[in-house]
Structure 1
């Protein structure tokens, strides 16, 4: 139990580091309005389709692919997110997703550590029990031998 409680600050820091990392990546993403050049054929069951989009960055035309809602037509515009080097990046997570990812890292990490700790304690308990039973069996063997206390 003491080890489990001492792990709490470690996983709290892991969650805080995750939050900082995700927030930093989100801050580096820039929304850009892009023109949809073409839309690929979408799976009839899919909600999204792949589209080729074009936009300008520092006066240089850029082209890439992104995901757009199914039914989107060429010629329209869509908002894409670009990273520091100008490539298309996924939509950055909002505040709720950032907190959720940090909480998930902290709680799942701590839970996994507790699971490993509990497994180690259970294995140690089985080992001690097995050794105790072996000693007990040896004691009974000695007691029931010809010169043992149970033979008198």
Structure 2
């Protein structure tokens, strides 16, 4: 009896559709593992590239002291849903004694003659601050998580579709087999069968 219960396909109650379901579930588990590995690899690559880019930008950014020479105002944000920014005209010297005057974002409540810190590029023009480690990490986590979610959702959708096909095929096979077995099992007459027919 032992030889009947071991080995591939040894269980007589296990159908091809059962094996297909097992294979599909294993494929989904493998897809999840692949998603984790790929997401981690891309997130790590994004972190490395982001750090390199941030270091390169930081070499060309300089934090200088500027003095406001006008009253504060408001400028609309870049996006329609973003809040307006508080700005003021300010002046600073960079490089050396080269003067610059521009309208820059300032903290709310800044008055005429107050000093503020401003990031400038190598030419002394106002520029964005170099990306922080938090920005780089957030970008890397976003890329890694997005990749992982994309692969898992795509793999899950494909497996779900395939499982529906397998289930439909299994239901049709059961109906066909039951149509042939049920009259014999229940003792009911099949269509076209007489009382004395066997």
Q: Which runs of 5+ in 2 are unaligned?
A: 1-31, 75-82, 185-198
RMSD across aligned positions (CA)? 2.7
The residue aligned with 1:51 is: 88
With the length of structure 2 as denominator, give the TM-score of the two structures: 0.59
Do the aligned residues in 1 keep the contact of 2:94 with 2:123 (CA within 8 Å)?
A: no
SS in structure 2 at match of 1:62: strand
Deviation at 1:126, TM superposition (A): 1.4
Match of 2:173 among 131, 135, 139: 139
What corresponds to 1:4 in structure 2?
Answer: 35
22-31 or 76-85: which moved more?
A: 76-85
Report the CA distance between 1:74 and its aligned residue. 1.7
SS, match of residue 89 in structure 2? strand
Between Structure 1 and Structure 2, how many residues are aligned?
A: 142
Cα deviation for residue 86 of structure 1 reads 2.8
The question of whether the paired residues in 1 share the 8 Å contact of 2:70 and 2:112 is answered with yes
Structure 1 residue 64 and structure 2 residue 96: aligned?
A: no
Change (3 A) 1:143 1:49: closer
TM-score by length of 1: 0.74
Q: Which consecutive unaligned segments of at least 5 residues does structure 1 have? A: none
The secondary structure found in structure 1 opposite 2:70 is: strand
The alpha-carbon distance between structure 1 residues 71 and 139, as it changes in their structure 2 partners (threshold 3 A), is: closer
Q: Which secondary structure state, in structure 1, belongs to the residue aligned with residue 124 of structure 2? A: coil
Match of 1:87 in 2: 125
- Partners of 2:171 and 2:63 lie apart in 1 by 74
Deviations 1:87-134 (A, max 9, x none): 2123445xxx32x22322222222111211221232122112211121
More strand by share: 1
8 Å contact 2:41–2:144 — kept in the other structure?
no
Q: How does 1:1-152 map to 2 (within 5 A)?
A: 1-7=32-38, 8-41=40-73, 49-57=86-94, 60-93=98-131, 97-98=132-133, 100-145=134-179, 148-152=180-184
SS of 2:50 mapped into structure 1: helix
Q: Report the CA distance between 1:79 and its aligned residue.
A: 2.6
Larger radius of gyration: 2
- Taking structure 1 as reference, are residues 70 and 102 closer, same or farther at Cα in structure 2, changes over 3 Å only? closer
